[in-house]
């Protein structure tokens, strides 16, 4: 969601489209399926802290809280407009979730605090430089042995998935999405210091392949 100059790109590139974000993602990406799978991989004990990185409208944060209801969940995003939607959804749900404004590569949290960090459909908005900066920041705030869980566009399984993904690249930019479609996120995670990096699953969607990754911080 960020450019080299530290400004951010709104979820659907233009602020005027932000109100459409939830239905677009729901209708085109098999959102319920891949987000539930992502959260199911996490081990969050009572009173541990989890972070939804670039939380958008808080759909994922609400799901994490529902599935790990005794844990403390925080969502952070750099877009105040989309956070207003998130705040309404959290308020209507009566769930205890904290939402903060901030950038992924300048996280306002102390070292070693989170037992899990989650990210969905976010890293493809970042330049390679800011992907690396974000990964280093996530590594800093994770507890030793804890995991980062990512669901984002990945390397296409076939020509159809590669062709449909062109729509995403036209909207979000070829430069920032190149690492995703090249299947390079695992390599960047390893280069940033994560260990035991795995691609857990792939989903074919109307807009391309979504890959689910898990990466650990060393003990």
What is the domain-level CATH number for residue 201? 3.40.50.150
Residue 142 inside a domain? The answer is yes
Burial of 128 per CB tally in 10 Å (0-12, 13-18, 19+): middle
Residue 4 inside a domain? The answer is no
Q: Which two tokens stand for residue 3?
A: 């450019």
- Say how many domains are in the chain: 1
Instruction: Kindly give the parts of the chain with pLDDT less than 50.
Output: 1-5, 12, 14, 16
- Give the C-alpha separation, 189 to 44, whole Å: 22
SS3 20: helix
> pLDDT (tens digit, 9 = 90+) per residue, 49-77?
999 999 999 999 999 999 999 999 999 99
SS3 206: coil
Bridge partner residues of 50 (DSSP): 73, 116
Q: What is the domain range of residue 33? A: 15-216
pLDDT at res. 85: 94
Residue 160 inside a domain? The answer is yes
pLDDT at res. 25: 84
Residue 1 inside a domain? The answer is no
> pLDDT (tens digit, 9 = 90+) per residue, 111-126?
999 999 999 999 999 9
Residue 97 inside a domain? The answer is yes
Residue 27 inside a domain? The answer is yes
Residue 189 inside a domain? The answer is yes
Residues near 95 by beta carbon (within 8 Å), at least 6 away in sequence? 62, 65, 66
SS3 110: coil
């Amino acid at each position: 969601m960020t450019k080299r100059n530290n400004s951010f790109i709104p979820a659907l590139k233009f602020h005027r489209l932000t109100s459409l974000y939830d239905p677009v993602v729901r209708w085109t990406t098999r959102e319920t399926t891949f987000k539930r799978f992502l959260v199911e991989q996490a081990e969050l004990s009572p009173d541990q802290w989890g972070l939804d990185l670039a939380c958008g409208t808080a759909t994922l944060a609400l799901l994490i809280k529902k599935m790990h209801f005794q844990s403390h969940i925080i969502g952070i995003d750099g877009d105040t407009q989309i956070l207003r939607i998130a705040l309404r959804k959290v308020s209507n749900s009566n769930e205890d979730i904290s939402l903060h404004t901030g950038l992924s590569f300048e996280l306002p949290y102390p070292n070693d605090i989170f037992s899990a960090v989650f990210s969905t459909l976010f890293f493809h908005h970042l330049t390679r430089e800011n992907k690396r900066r974000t990964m280093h920041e996530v590594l800093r705030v994770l507890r030793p042995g804890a995991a980062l869980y990512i669901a984002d566009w990945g390397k296409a399984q076939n020509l159809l998935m590669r062709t449909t993904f062109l729509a995403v690249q036209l909207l979000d930019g070829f430069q920032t999405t190149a690492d995703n479609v090249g299947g390079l996120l695992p390599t960047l995670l390893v280069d940033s210091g994560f260990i035991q990096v795995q691609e857990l699953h792939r989903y074919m969607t109307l807009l391309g392949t979504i890959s689910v990754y898990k990466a650990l911080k060393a003990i």
